[in-house]
Amino acid sequence: MAGRPALWLGPLLLLSLGGPSAPASLLRRLGEHIQQFQESQGLSLTLGPGAGALPKQGWLEQPLDPFNTSDQRSFLQRYWVNDQHWASQRGPVFLHLGGEGSLRSGSVMRGHPAALAPAWGALVIGLEHRFYGLSIPAEGLDVAQLRFLSSRHALADVASARRALARLFNVSTASPWICFGGSYAGSLAAWARLKFPHLILASVASSAPVRAVLDFSEYNEVVSRSLTSTAVGGSPECRAAASSAFAEVERRLRAGAAARAALRAELGACSSLGRAEDQAELLGALQALVGGAVQYDAQAGVPLSVRRLCGLLLEDRRNGSRSASYHGLRRAVQVVMRSLGQRCLSFSRAETVAQLRVTDPHVSGVGDRQWLYQTCTEFGFYVTCEDPRCPFSQLPALPSQLELCEQVFGLSTASIARAVSQTNSYYGGQTPGSTHVLFVNGDTDPWHVLSVTQALGPSESALLIPGASHCMDMAPERPSDSPSLRLGRQSILQQLQTWLGPAKESQVSSAG
């Protein structure tokens, strides 16, 4: 994967999210790697003896512009179905919403909502997000097309698909529909209930960043705090070592051409470090690598947990040299690159811009261009480290991240700031005012600070799981799961009981 943008910070199902530059691209690929690993490990366990065939894939014809009835253009939207637990046409439907990446069969076969389906006899359906995966309009990804890519368009698809799928599978009008989603898709799940309460009975929104923000400096505040947490394998010494490692990288970048050439060789970089913009991208990529260890801490398939990262950073501390922690960071880079199958660490700003300008969906990768467009026109989410207390480099700074929107789409900083404000106004930010929504977060996950972590009322619940990382509640159960994670999943089950119990009683009484 050399020559492609390296690290997309943030997320999944792709569990990623994050800003637009090369640092962010690697984290998107890290999230995709974890998802693929979990699916490969969990699919055979999910099917079990006597289970039905593999999940069914289908396609819905959806209007390209649902807000203009005179526009007859359409696209095909992919969905997945798992009906092996569906007890009757009157049973509940669990609708798993896709986010900023391809939605695979695992979305309806492993983790929740699939794990919750047997208890309720539920039909499980996964709906891929427009413009991602295979649900991309035939005309491609030029700017004229991308104006039909937004969370509002995606929610219109949810409403349309909800009606079409109910007819297609002969679902009873009395059947309750519950939305599930993680990360950006978790926000969509919450917003689907907010905007379409007549179609969606309730939603479980995992790691859902419902507050848009231009400068997401809080991300690295959580990363810094988590590196000191003994509960996940961190320590104050680990945070200090991370800070020392970044200081050493910056020292070597300033030390001249020979030092930069040695740094390039030691970090396995794909290209030279002569340009200031590429140096900033490298520092951002290294930040994203550390952020990824926190964001996906302890998940199946993650190459680098907080505990392992801290072990690498502190491995050579006894020799007392200022470069000891730097060598630990080098080893961390090698671990992640090897896990992702990348032969070198890419951070070229020019290559990033060139890749993001490609409008052919078959060339533009895992949705980087599309997600950049959404950050530029709706969400921001640009991770920075400009606070003096941040232990990493203060590069890349916010202006260089915003500049990418101008370079790729011709969008100004003022328009981005305006778009972020409009998103919060339309959805309500962290006080959305919805009912029958359960927000689930882990306190290790940097994205939880943009979600809802305290109940806002009797019908808008929140669950904050100690020590849990990004969307961890949605992953398949493992023997190594912490007691707090197990308790959190039990709380989700109890919340479903609260929502579905009355609906089930109503069905029984009407049937009688």
Spot the catalytic one: 21, 102, 107, 183.
Answer: 183
Q: Check residue 457 and report its DSSP letter.
A: B
Which residue carries 């649900």 as its tokens?
Answer: 135
What is the helix (H) or strand (E) element at residue 382, kind and residue range?
A: strand 380-382
Token pair, residue 181, equals 């989603």
Q: In whole angstroms, what is the distance from residue 12 CA to residue 7 CA?
A: 14
Q: In whole angstroms, what is the distance from residue 327 CA to residue 316 CA?
A: 8
Burial level of 58, CB count in 10 A (0-12/13-18/19+)?
A: middle
**3-state SS, residue 436:** coil
**Do the beta carbons of residue 97 and residue 127 sit within 8 Å?**
yes
Cα–Cα distances in Å, from 317 out to 216, 326, 392?
32, 10, 19
445 is catalytic: yes
506 is catalytic: no
**Do the beta carbons of residue 401 and residue 26 sit within 8 Å?**
no
Which residue carries 């599978």 as its tokens?
Answer: 169
Vertex 24 angle, CA 281 and 466, to 5° = 125
Cα–Cα distances in Å, from 493 out to 16, 114, 208, 455?
25, 12, 19, 17
470 is catalytic: yes
Spot the catalytic one: 207, 244, 470, 473.
Answer: 470
Q: In whole angstroms, what is the distance from residue 357 CA to residue 143 CA?
A: 10
Spot the catalytic one: 157, 278, 445, 481.
Answer: 445
β strands within 64-132, DSSP E = 74-82, 93-97, 123-127
In 3D space, the residue among 481, 441, 483, 487 whose CA is nearest the CA of residue 461 turns out to be 441
In 3D space, the residue among 310, 288, 313 whose CA is nearest the CA of residue 384 turns out to be 288
- Provide the β-strand partners of residue 62: 75
Cα–Cα distances in Å, from 2 out to 37, 73, 351, 471, 512?
21, 37, 10, 29, 64
Task: Please give the positions annotated as active site.
Answer: 183, 445, 470
